Amino acid sequence: MNPLLLALLITSLSTSTIITMSSNHWLLAWLSLELNTLSILPIIMKPAHPRATEATTKYFLIQTIAAALILCATTLNVWQTGQWTILHTPNPLTTLFLTMAIALKLGLAPMHLWYPDVLQGSTLPTALIISTWQKIAPLTLLMMMHNHLNTPTLTALGLISALVGGWTGLNQTQVRKIMAFSTISHMGWLMVALSLNQELTTLTMTLYIMMTTTLFFSLMTTTTKTITDMGTAWPSSPTLMAMTMLTLMSLGGLPPLTGFLPKWLIMKELTH
């Protein structure tokens, strides 16, 4: 891709997320979510391969449906309350609509089936953007609606996502698909954290982004596509592979490592 064009797309992608995060008006938030989707589509499509085209189409359709649902729910909210403010969405039906639309955008179970396919059809750098940066804007919207969210709905979404992500990931050989199910599972933990404590959600999200980025960079360096590739990469770079294994265990939440911290704190909050 032309470096100027790529720079333009990345700038547009970053700006749209920042606008969503800083907006207080539903229409502006919706507009920047649309800009966000339009910015990433050419990036996913770039390899000019049938799989990339398929991934782009799936991503476009899902994000458009979710955005339309958000617009529908916010219009309903304005109709009932007379306000466009994100912080003021007291109607339970509107909140449920918005939660489901954002869950679809994030790829939470049971609305997750598009996500592994999109990641599998993308290159590793693109998969990294979809797994990390693209999660920030929808999660920010959920955090802004925090006071009006339905806790049982969030907890149910979180529980289903954590279970589906964990179980379905066991049956995979493709690294990008495993990472997709890992993301679904982590988004589930995030939903549970969101229903409990906002500071904890921010911590969980930050650590998730750090660990996922580290792992994706390791995979990019060794050009790993399947589990088999990981085994053959060991002789060429043992230090990097050792770090990758540590990152994987941290992402899984093994006790002495960083990834255990958010899970432990979430469990602690749940048992209160």
Q: Token pair for residue 29? A: 């938030």
Residue pLDDT, tens place only, 185-208: 999 999 999 999 999 999 999 999
Residue pLDDT, tens place only, 64-89: 999 999 999 999 999 999 999 999 88
Q: What value does the mean pLDDT of the chain take?
A: 95
Show the CA angle centred on residue 100, arms to residues 133 and 23, nearest 5°.
50
Q: 174 by DSSP, 3-state: which?
A: strand
Domain boundaries, the chain: 3-271
pLDDT at residue 231, rounded to an integer:
83
pLDDT at residue 234, rounded to an integer:
84
Residue pLDDT, tens place only, 98-127: 999 999 999 999 999 999 999 999 999 999
Residue pLDDT, tens place only, 144-169: 999 999 999 999 999 999 999 999 99
pLDDT at residue 51, rounded to an integer:
96
Question: How far apart, in whole angstroms, are the C-alpha atoms of residue 91 and residue 98?
Answer: 11
Residue pLDDT, tens place only, 29-60: 999 999 999 999 999 999 999 999 999 999 99
